[in-house]
A and B are shown apart, each in its own frame.
Chain A
Amino acid sequence: MSDTINLTYDVPGDDFTRAGEASSDVKGVLKKLGLSPQVVRKVAIAMYEGEINMVIHGGGGQITVEVTPDAVTMRLADHGPGIRDISLAMQEGWSTAPEEVRNLGFGAGMGLPNMKKYSDEMEVISEVGVGTTVNMKVYVA
């Protein structure tokens, strides 16, 4: 048996009832693998924030998760409008989310800051008009 587990999810765009399904599934898998509740929670929160961003801003996309004995690595890629100014988007409270998204309780400008807070490594690659990819890593040990 390999020490690496790979998971792939397609995230539908604009479907708020399904947003979080991929993160919930990963949470279940990590719990079954016996990872510590702290690690599972960090991955779940970081990934969910990314997943919600893909639904709100990115028109959906794909998430791949790699679990090794050392770390959980997530790659979230969308083909949305891209982020014009990443450092601005990283600031708490800065948001471009539309009104209907705010009415659901999102769009407070906490998504990327929360992802940074709960992951151990994070990289945002974005090109306007092409899309955004977020790579995050949470250490297991």
Chain B
Amino acid sequence: MTVKQLAAQAGLKILAGEGSLGREIESVYSCDLLSFVMGRAPADSAWVTVMGNVNAMAVALLADVACVVLAEGAAFDDDAKKKAEQNDIAVLWSEKPVFDAALDIHTRMAGA
């Protein structure tokens, strides 16, 4: 499933990273502690988090996740948006709680 397909099917708002919407999502990962995410998020995963700051974007880029899914309607600040646009990091947005958002992605991937 691509990031774009996920956004369309799950009704997630696309906040940034138009150029990366074609990336394939291979798994789902969720955590807010960036140090953990850095070491443990699988490459090509959909990373569900509430961290919408510039450091989270750096982590997304360097850990090479397929997309960031901001859950809980979390804020996406201007510095983060700028970094995401500069580096073409796909950022999706959901009002669902972290677990529900991650479960929804997992369910859709299993059904795809």
Which A positions have Cβ atoms within 8 angstroms of B? 16-17, 19-20, 23-24, 27, 37, 40-41, 44-45, 48-49, 104-111, 113-114, 117-118
Contacts and interface: CB of A to CB of B under 8 A. Distances in A.
Interface residues of B, number: 22
A55 to B, nearest CB: 10
Contacts of A49: 35, 38-39
Given A48-B38, A105-B51, A109-B35, A24 B43 contact: no
Contact of A113 (B32, B39, B51): B39
A48 B39 CA distance: 11
Interface of B: 32-39, 43, 51, 53-56, 58-59, 61-64, 79, 87
A7 to B, nearest CB: 16
Given A105-B33, A108-B36, A24 B58 contact: yes
A1 to B, nearest CB: 28
